[in-house]
A and B are shown apart, each in its own frame.
Chain A
Amino acid sequence: MAHFADDRVVPASADDPLQLAAQLHETQEQLAATSEILAVLSTSATAPDDVFDAIVGRAKRLFDADAAQIQVVEGGEFLLVRSAGTTREYVDVVTRRRPSARTRATLVGRVALDRAPQQIADVLADPEYSGSDYQREGGFRTIMGVPMMVDDDVVGVLSVWRRTVSPFDEQDEAVLLTFAAQAALAVRTVELVRAVQDGGQLLARKVDQLEALAEVGKAISSTLDPDEVLGTIVLHAVELSAADGGSLMEYDEESGLFRVRTAYGTAEDTLTALKGTRIHIDETLVGSAATSGTPIQVPDLASVERDPHLKVLHDAGWRSLVAIPLTHSARTVGVLVVRRKSTGAFTGETCDMLSAFASQSAVALVNARLYRELEQQRAELAVTSQHKSEFLASMSHELRTPLNAVIGFSEVLLERMFGELNERQEDYLRDILGAGRHLLELLNDVLDLSKVEAGRMELEPTTFPVLDAVHPVLALLRERAAQHHITLQLEVGPDLPHVTADQLRLKQVLLNLVGNAVKFTPDGGTVTVAVARSRDELTVTVADTGMGIAPDDQERIFDSFQQGTRSASASEGTGLGLTLTRRIVELHGGRVWLTSEPGLGSTFGFSLPQPQAVTAHDGAGWSRAALDDARPTVVVIEDDPSSSELVGVHLTAAGLRPVPVRSGEEGLAAVRDLRPSAVVLDIRLPGMDGWDVLGELKADPELARTPVVVVSVLPDSRRGFALGASDYLVKPVAGEVLLGAVWRAVAEHDHVLGGGRRTLVAIDDDPLALELVRATLEPQGWRVVTYTRGSDALQSIALSAPSVVLVDLRMPDTDGFEVIEALRADPRTNAVPVVVLTAKTLTTEDRARLQGRIEFVASKSQLDLGLLAQRLARVARRGTAAEATP
């Protein structure tokens, strides 16, 4: 490998897009300034030849000389640049045989050596003079020269001669010196101009490079298609290094092989050959570059020993290349190869530039790998999830079949279809029936819960009078309550209009809570159900006069199969009811709570956020009082009630506060009054249409910055964007697409206005997990900061006060438990909400350690990223709401 020129370069830091942008800007400004200087110079002091012409012409005349000439030093020799009174033959000789600047044999040599004026009264009489060929052509006898000095250097000599022996006097010498000074000035100007020009070109090149880097950076951050990013990188690398082609290879640590991911300027069959070539790290040039961590170039492929990779290239007509190693976190991830069809070395500057690309490429390669793994994981997850639901469906079917007989025959007998029963028979039959129904209930809860866990429970929200859900549930339980002499009472607020929720699920929640209350209240007690509706929330509480729940059990009771100490007296529940209740309420965007005094009873409560019904007559509907809410407000301008409701339900569930209005005029009024974070706008509206609304919003300087997401049946996105819409969605719109657009708009708006963006600090030693979290949350407007070590994260959390901390439990060095303990011990961080994301199955001991310190635990083994995002948003919201409350 001795042939390979080793060209070590220092890679520029190019993986920080902000830094890159700043650098680009600075360089562009330098370039602009330089261009101005150039312009000034070129109009004023300029063409040096004109100056030289003037000087030699004037010198010849002034000193009554036969000739005058200016020679400048270049590479230790004198170059004749201008002369007067000379023949063409003389000029040819002096141009061809340049006099040396380091000899006393010529006049100019002496001037250069002595840095002082020199005169030879008669060259033919001077024993040291040996410029006989010049002399023969020029025919001079007396010659005088003075140095042209720039700083302390002799840059040239101005000389005059006579063909007769007739020495110049001292005054001649002094005047000639002033002429030489002018000539020197001209030389200096030329040098300056050239330097500035060179600098300008350098800067221009630098701008090109930075622009290319910025473009690559943009590609990396704006597309999820890794091949597109890699393609962009190779394209720019090749173009900027004035090469003919290139390729990007990915390194596979396991096999030690490089695989060509993408190429540019490469024939199809060559690419196929490259892809089929075994490129091993120990056997190839690219491998050597990777191992050494420095670029290696081959100026002439024909003259080196060729490994299989180089052979393919050489056979395809490539003649030179440079291989730049790509490393990420001190590990080889690939190699960038740039090649030419001609021989020759790549300059150091080119290598520097390519090294800057290398860091970008490494990031892109790592991302590409992560996305691939992500895709694979998603596919596996989908299969697993599919298997799981198939299993659940068939399990449900198989259990239901025998239960049908158990329950049915018990009922047949209890209905006395076939005769009277004695007391004991009836008693046992009721036991069989009770056990059968219990099993059925358990089965139903398991199915529901697994649907929630798999993110498959879909709400079917409708708007209905809230008592439609409450009354049937109470009717169902009234009999049981009466048997135990329990008073079942309902307290309703004065104004109970409609509620928007999944009616079936709301009934399920009510049945569970009220059923529990009846079950755990001793005979003669009271169960009170209270229903109240505030402007944007439905609140239901169920209070009993039971034995209460010990503080230690109050959180645990919502976990599966936990009934607290009350299970001692009654074991009829499935142990899943409260878990399911909480999940269903959370799916609606609400929350569940419990207050209890042991011995006095318990109160379970839940709330469901409600889209606000604002009508034309309800002008006060969006009064500022309604804004005592940390959620970002979104005004929804939509005349179709069902569409509006659907949008409202999605926005509410995602932690936003929708304010629905039915017309453009109302919409404008609402936007002026509420200053929402975003507007969702329909186009076909009665009266003023959506285009007019959009136009008016954007024309008002105070409202123009409010992002508008257009949702319309009209596919006219160009018009929408032209009028300033942030996004344009064509109906029907999937919920998550809508949410993505609205969240982006809200994040952008809040960011622009300097409002706090939701920040999540994620700590996990697995970079893939971090990438998953980032990929999920960033599109929803989160700022995600990741750490692979718990100890590194603590300081940052204390200083930045993020909205939520997401932490893995099992990590080397500081584990998740320690991180949580440290956070809770520090007064600056003890209130930061913490969510645990772990693959670990929690032991009782683990739960005890986490008790009261975290929001919830999400399991990696059954991770639903969408659901996790929703729950995190809810946690973040609660955090800000809590801060806002005095």
Chain B
Amino acid sequence: MSGARVLLVEDNERNLKLARDVLEFAGFAVTVATSGEEAVTEATRALPDLVLMDLQLPGISGQAALARLREEPRTAAIPVVALTAFAMRSDREQALSSGFDGYLEKPISVRDFPDQVRSHLRPSVRGSP
């Protein structure tokens, strides 16, 4: 049985590869997008269980992409977690107050990352991967 489906939105090629490999190794099914617009299209098409979103993206920002996902009824309820290299206390507060369900900082800890992602899944899909 396939694991929880995660849409990974990340414009940095290496970091995309790292997060994808780590998540796939942990049993997640990963699709990717490298811009905010692509993320919205892909999320609407694939309806993943969770979106991991970088904040600084080419084109529309992570926040703007989040807003579009929330506007679209089919994607409105998908948990969206920020994954970012912004590390100030205020960045975290700002992201959470703008509607992200979680906030993960880069660099990621390879050992903990899959569990951190899993903790943001809705309970119904949490057990799968």
Answer whether residue A239 sits at the interface, using C-beta atoms and an 8 A cutoff.
no
Chain A 369-421 residues near chain B, CB threshold 8 A: 393, 396-398, 400-409, 411-412, 415, 417
On chain B, the residues within 8 Å of A447 by CB distance are 87-88
Is there contact, CB below 8 Å, between A401 and B12?
Answer: yes
CB-based contact B109/A405 at 8 Å: no
Selecting from B17-25, B59-67, B74-82, B116-124, the interface stretch reads B17-25
- Given A397-B56, A402-B14, are A408 and B86 also a contact pair (CB < 8 Å)? no
What CA separation (Å) do A402 and B88 show in the bound complex?
18
* Residues in A266-285 with C-beta less than 8 Å from chain B: none
Select A412's contact among B56, B87, B106, B110, beta carbons within 8 Å: B110
What is the CA–CA distance of A440 and B109 in the complex, to the nearest angstrom? Answer: 13
Chain B, 6-43, CB within 8 A of any chain A CB? 12, 14-15, 18-19, 21-22, 25
> Which residues of chain A have C-beta atoms less than 8 A from B84's C-beta?
397
Which of B15, B21, B88, B109 has a CB less than 8 Å from the CB of A401?
A: B15
Cβ-neighbour of B22 out of A396, A397, A400, A412 (below 8 A) = A412
Q: Is the CB of B107 within 8 A of A417?
A: no
A405 touches B18 (CB 8 A): yes
Q: Is B45 an interface residue (CB 8 A)?
A: no
> In the complex the two chains form, is A407's CB within 8 Å of B107's CB?
yes
Report whether A405 and B15 are in contact in the complex, using a CB–CB cutoff of 8 Å: yes
Interface flags, A409-435, vs B, CB<8A=1, else 0: 101100101000000000000000000
Q: Which of A393, A401, A403, A415 contacts B110 (CB 8 A)?
A: A415
- In the complex, whether B85 has a CB less than 8 A from a CB of chain A is yes
Query: How far, in Å, is A476 (CB) from chain B's closest CB?
Result: 13
Contact B107 A393 (CB under 8 A): no
CA distance A398 to B21 in the complex (A): 22
Task: Assess the B86–A393 pair: CB atoms within 8 A.
Answer: yes
Question: What CA separation (Å) do A415 and B108 show in the bound complex?
Answer: 14
**Majority DSSP secondary structure for residues of B touching A:** loop
Q: List CB contacts (< 8 Å) of B61-104 with chain A.
A: 84-88
Q: Evaluate contact between A396 and B85: CB separation under 8 angstroms.
A: yes
Residues of A within 8 A of B14 (CB): 402, 405, 409
In the complex, what residues of B have CB within 8 A of residue A393's CB? 86, 88
Contact of B106 among A401, A409, A417, A444 (CB under 8 A): A401
User: A415: nearest residue on chain B (CB-CB)?
Assistant: B110
**In the complex the two chains form, what is the Cα distance from A444 to B85 in whole Å?**
12
With A412-B22, A417-B21 known to touch, is A396 a contact of B87 (CB < 8 Å)? yes
Q: State how many angstroms separate the Cβ of A866 from the closest Cβ of chain B.
A: 20
Point out the residue from A400, A408, A412, A417 that lies within 8 Å of B85, measured CB to CB: A400
Inter-subunit contact A408/B88 (CB<8 Å): no
**Smallest Cβ distance from A23 to chain B, in angstroms?**
57
- The answer on a CB contact under 8 Å between A404 and B25 is no
Instruction: Contact check, B15 vs A404: say whether CB atoms are below 8 A apart.
Output: yes
Q: How far is the CA of A694 from the CA of B56 in the complex (A)?
A: 56
A406 to B106, CA, bound (A): 11
Smallest beta-carbon distance A793→chain B, Å: 43
- Residues from chain B with a CB closer than 8 A to the CB of A400 are 85, 87, 106-107
Assess A408 versus B110: contact at CB under 8 Å? Given A396-B85, A400-B85. yes
Closest residue of chain A to B110 (Cβ to Cβ) is: A411
Instruction: Give the chain B neighbours of A408 by CB distance below 8 A.
Output: 15, 18-19, 22, 107-108, 110
* Chain A: minimal CB distance from B88 (Å): 6
Expressed in whole angstroms, the Cα–Cα distance for A405 and B110 within the complex equals 10
Whether A401 and B85, one on each chain, are in contact in the complex, defined by CB atoms closer than 8 angstroms, is yes
**CB closest chain-B residue, reference A444:** B87
B interface size (C-beta, 8 A): 20
The winner among B15, B21, B56, B110 for most chain A CB atoms within 10 A is B110
Which chain B positions have C-beta within 8 A of A403? 106-107
Contact with B along A439-477 (1 / 0, CB 8 A): 010001001000000000000000000000000000000
- B85: chain A residues at CB < 8 Å are 396-398, 400-401, 404
Contact A440 B18, CB 8 Å, known A393-B88, A397-B56 = no
Q: Which residues of B contact A402 (CB under 8 A)?
A: 14
Find out whether the CB atom of B15 lies under 8 angstroms from the CB atom of A412: no
Do A411 and B86 have beta carbons less than 8 Å apart?
no
Chain B residues contacting A440 (CB-CB under 8 Å) are 107
Question: With A and B bound together, what is the CA distance between A871 and B88 in angstroms?
Answer: 26
Residues of A near B22 (CB, < 8 A) are 408, 412, 417
B109 surroundings in chain A (CB, below 8 A)? 411
Which residue of B is nearest A417, CB measured? B25
Q: Report the Cα distance A398→B107, complex, angstroms.
A: 12
Query: In the complex, what distance in Å separates the CA atom of A436 from the CA atom of B18?
Result: 15
Closest to B105 in A: A400
Q: In the assembled complex, how far is the CB of residue A712 from the closest CB belonging to chain B, in whole angstroms?
A: 30
Q: Which chain B positions have C-beta within 8 A of A406?
A: 107
CA of A140 to CA of B108, assembled, Å: 131
Inter-chain CA distance A403–B22, complex, in Å, is: 16
Q: Considering only CB atoms, which chain B residue lies closest to A504 in the complex?
A: B89
Residue from A393, A401, A444 with most neighbouring chain B CB atoms (10 Å): A401
Q: Which A residues are in CB contact (< 8 Å) with B18?
A: 404-405, 408-409, 412
Which residues of chain B come closer than 8 Å to A397, judged between CB atoms?
Answer: 56, 84-87
Q: In the complex, A408→B107 CA distance in Å?
A: 7
* CA of A839 to CA of B12, assembled, Å: 42
- Whether B56 lies near A404 (C-beta < 8 A) is no
> Which residue of chain A lies nearest to B55 when distances are taken between CB atoms in the complex?
A397
Give the residue name and chain of the A residue nearest to B83 (CB): A404
**CA gap between A74 and B15 in the complex, in Å:** 110
Give the distance in Å from the alpha carbon of A447 to the alpha carbon of B85 in the complex: 13
Task: Name A411's closest neighbour in chain B (CB-CB).
Answer: B110
For B111, give its contact among A396, A409, A411, A436 (CB under 8 Å): A411
Residues 128-169 of chain A, each 1 if its beta carbon lies under 8 Å from chain B, else 0: 000000000000000000000000000000000000000000
Q: What is the bound-complex CA distance between A88 and B115, given in angstroms?
A: 126
Bound complex: CA A407 to CA B106 (Å): 10
- B109 to chain A: closest residue by CB: A411
Which A residues lie within 8 Å of B107 (CB)? 400, 403-404, 406-408, 436, 440
Are A404 and B110 interface neighbours, CB within 8 A?
Answer: no
Q: How far is the CB of A499 from chain B (nearest CB, A)?
A: 21
Q: Which residues of A are found within 8 Å of B87, using beta-carbon distances?
A: 396-397, 400, 444, 447
Interface string of A690-728 (1 = CB under 8 A from B): 000000000000000000000000000000000000000
Q: Which of A396, A411, A415 has the largest number of chain B CB atoms within 10 A?
A: A411
Once the chains are docked, how many angstroms separate the CA of A224 from the CA of B18? 59
**Cβ-defined contact, A404 with B86, below 8 A:** no
- The proximity string for A residues 672-703 relative to B, scoring 1 for CB distances below 8 Å and 0 otherwise, is 00000000000000000000000000000000
The distance in angstroms between the C-alpha atoms of A398 and B85, with both chains bound, is: 8
Question: A402 to B110, alpha carbons, bound, how many Å?
Answer: 15
Kindly provide the distance from the CB of A505 to the nearest chain B CB, expressed in whole angstroms: 11
Query: Which residue of chain A has the shortest Cβ distance to B85 in the bound complex?
Result: A400
A783 vs chain B, min Cβ distance (A): 39
CA distance A396 to B84 in the complex (A): 11
Complex interface: chain A residues within 8 A of B111 (CB): 411, 415
For residue A401, which residues in chain B have a CB less than 8 angstroms away from its CB? 12, 15, 85, 106
Give the docked Cα–Cα distance between A403 and B86 (Å): 13
Interface residue ranges, B against A (CB under 8 Å): 12, 14-15, 18-19, 21-22, 25, 56, 84-88, 106-111
Residues of A within 8 A of B (CB): 393, 396-398, 400-409, 411-412, 415, 417, 436, 440, 444, 447
Give me 30 A-to-B residue pairs in the complex whose CB atoms sit less than 8 angstroms apart, sorted by A's number.
A393-B86, A393-B88, A396-B85, A396-B88, A397-B56, A400-B85, A401-B12, A401-B106, A402-B14, A403-B107, A404-B107, A404-B108, A405-B18, A406-B107, A408-B15, A408-B18, A408-B19, A408-B22, A411-B110, A411-B111, A412-B21, A412-B110, A415-B111, A417-B21, A417-B22, A417-B25, A436-B107, A444-B87, A447-B87, A447-B88
Inter-chain pairs besides A397-B87, A405-B18, 16 sampled, C-beta below 8 Å = A393-B86, A397-B86, A400-B107, A402-B14, A403-B106, A404-B15, A404-B18, A406-B107, A408-B22, A408-B107, A408-B110, A411-B110, A411-B111, A412-B22, A440-B107, A447-B87
Closest 9 CB pairs of A and B: A411-B110, A400-B85, A405-B14, A404-B106, A404-B107, A408-B18, A407-B107, A397-B85, A417-B25
